[in-house]
Amino acid sequence: MKILIACEYSGRVREAFTKLGHDAMSCDILPTEQPGKHYQGDVRDVLYHDWDLIVAHPPCTFLSVAGNRWFNTDRYGEKARTRKKAQEQAIAFFRLFTDLDCEKVAIENPIGCMSKVYRKPSQIIHPYMFGEHERKATCLWLKGLPALKATKVVEPNIVKYKNGKGTDSPWHLDTLKLPAEARRKARSLTFQGIADAMAMQWGGIESQQDLFGGAA
């Protein structure tokens, strides 16, 4: 298949599909972090080509529920109004992928406003369902594709807050130590177990399972 992995610079999903023999290309405003077919620039330059499958990871900074408190105009004033405008732009960008003619489309994002603005996701997955010991709720909106099946359910690593009022993932806590841009990039990465499952279940055949250790 001819596959576009939109808004991906890591190359993880792209290379998972490439390993199976597909013609996969990633696209992002950043350069790719590993060798492979990559278009650096505006995704709209390549989005409307003749793709068999599109997997999109639109930026979530202004869509995720994690930033909801910053929209309080009474408390944050102009900063909140500026953020609201940024959210409107982010929603419009997300919508680029909901209105495509492509028969097979997957859009990935964390839990956020698109569940109301667009529709509820087709499914919500976590890395620990795919052999990764991390908890991170990830929404998938699917068109023409089956829901991903868990490949290897493992126990997620969980840290309790010292105040006893909640829990978190060590991976997420570690990203808090990073500068803002590095933190954003780290949190946007697709876990390898999920990337492999996408490739195997949406673009593989049973005889190719050994390419991913037989897990998918």
Which tens digit of pLDDT belongs to each residue from 125-174?
A: 999 999 999 999 999 999 999 999 999 999 998 888 778 777 878 777 77
Instruction: Kindly report the pTM of this predicted structure.
Output: 0.87
- In this predicted structure, what is the pLDDT of residue 208? 58
Distance between CA atoms of 195 and 35, rounded to whole angstroms? 17
- In this predicted structure, what is the pLDDT of residue 15? 99
- In this predicted structure, what is the pLDDT of residue 77? 77
- The domains of the chain, with CATH numbers, are 2-210 (3.40.50)
Ranges under pLDDT 50 in the chain: 215-216
- In this predicted structure, what is the pLDDT of residue 216? 44
Distances 159 to 130, 149, 154, 179, 180 between C-alpha atoms, Å: 20, 26, 16, 22, 22
